[in-house]
């Protein structure tokens, strides 16, 4: 029998952020933003049980996860000096990406590969006529921090499937026709506890197209990237 409730701290667990990943979850108490990192629905215990669909999330306040394959639980118990999170093993994103604007305060946490998943990327991204195609992916997580009113940089390339869960604060994902915010045509609000639907369009085997998009913070914010990287 597989061991239940195999838990470990995530690489970005630290002074400000408490973060763990739990595998094969059964009747597990959770406090924080819980993200279902699997293809199967997560069940929440209660008089009337609740359901969190695959790759979606919820806020739990000592609620019980009745069952789930794999979840992350991320909490910020105390937000005093929360901006200090960038000194807790994080990196300014400009150190990772030469073309990143030199004065934009976007910071990235250490990343953590929490497991692998097999899925159909066409179905994952809600394609109209999903092709019959299954692939393997590493599930890679990291956090981002930016203060209010940060332009987190327009981009349209990722060699992976990406979604995000909001952990703290509010923002939006802004989607543009071109590499120009004046061509904005859509916004997705990011509220704490929410995971947005994928923006990606799968264009072939391990080929992904993204619209021009950027994160925008309305308040100081922390969000979690969930990246599914094609794996062997
Ligand atoms: Fe992106």
Same fold, 6-75 and 82-230: yes
Question: What is residue 1's predicted lDDT score, i.e. its pLDDT?
Answer: 65
Distance 195 CA to ligand 1 centre (A): 14
HSE value, Cβ hemisphere, 13 Å, CA-based, for 128: 1
Distance 213 CA to ligand 1 centre (A): 6
Q: How confident is the model over 29-43, as pLDDT tens digits?
A: 999 999 999 999 999
Distance 74 CA to ligand 1 centre (A): 21
Confidence band for 45, pLDDT divided at 50, 70 and 90: very high
Distance 53 CA to ligand 1 centre (A): 22
Q: Do residues 73 and 34 touch, judged by C-beta distance below 8 A?
A: yes
Distance 215 CA to ligand 1 centre (A): 8
Distance 216 CA to ligand 1 centre (A): 12
CATH topology for 82-230 is Jelly Rolls (2.60.120)
Q: Where are the domains of the chain?
A: 6-75, 82-230
Report how far apart, in Å, the C-alpha atoms of 211 and of each of 6, 22, 134, 204 are. 37, 33, 23, 16
Distance 121 CA to ligand 1 centre (A): 17
Residue 21 bridge partners (DSSP): 8, 72
Distance 99 CA to ligand 1 centre (A): 15
Class of domain 6-75: mainly beta
Q: Do residues 114 and 25 touch, judged by C-beta distance below 8 A?
A: no
Distance 214 CA to ligand 1 centre (A): 7
Q: How confident is the model over 6-33, as pLDDT tens digits?
A: 999 999 999 999 999 999 999 999 999 9
Distance 152 CA to ligand 1 centre (A): 9
């Amino acid at each position: 029998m597989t061991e239940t409730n195999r838990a470990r701290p995530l690489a970005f667990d630290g002074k400000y952020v408490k973060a763990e990943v739990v595998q094969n979850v059964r009747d597990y108490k959770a406090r924080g933003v819980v993200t279902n990192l699997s293809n199967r629905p997560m069940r929440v215990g209660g008089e009337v049980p609740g359901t969190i669909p695959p790759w979606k999330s919820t806020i739990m306040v000592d609620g019980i996860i009745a069952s789930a394959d794999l979840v992350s639980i991320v909490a910020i118990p105390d937000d005093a000096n929360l901006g200090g999170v960038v000194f807790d093993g994080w990196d300014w994103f400009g150190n990772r990406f030469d073309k990143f604007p030199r004065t934009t305060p976007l910071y990235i946490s250490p990343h953590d590969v929490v497991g692998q998943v097999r899925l159909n990327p066409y179905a994952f991204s809600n394609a109209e006529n999903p092709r019959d195609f299954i692939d393997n992916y590493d599930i890679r997580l990291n956090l981002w921090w930016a203060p209010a009113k940060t332009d987190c940089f327009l981009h349209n390339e990722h060699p992976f499937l990406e979604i995000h869960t909001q952990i703290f604060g509010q923002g939006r994902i802004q989607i543009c026709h071109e590499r120009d915010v004046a061509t904005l045509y859509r916004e997705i609000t990011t509220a704490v506890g929410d995971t947005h639907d994928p923006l990606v369009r799968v264009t072939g085997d391990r080929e992904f197209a993204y619209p021009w998009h950027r994160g925008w913070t309305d308040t100081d914010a922390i969000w979690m990237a969930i990246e599914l990287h094609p794996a062997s």
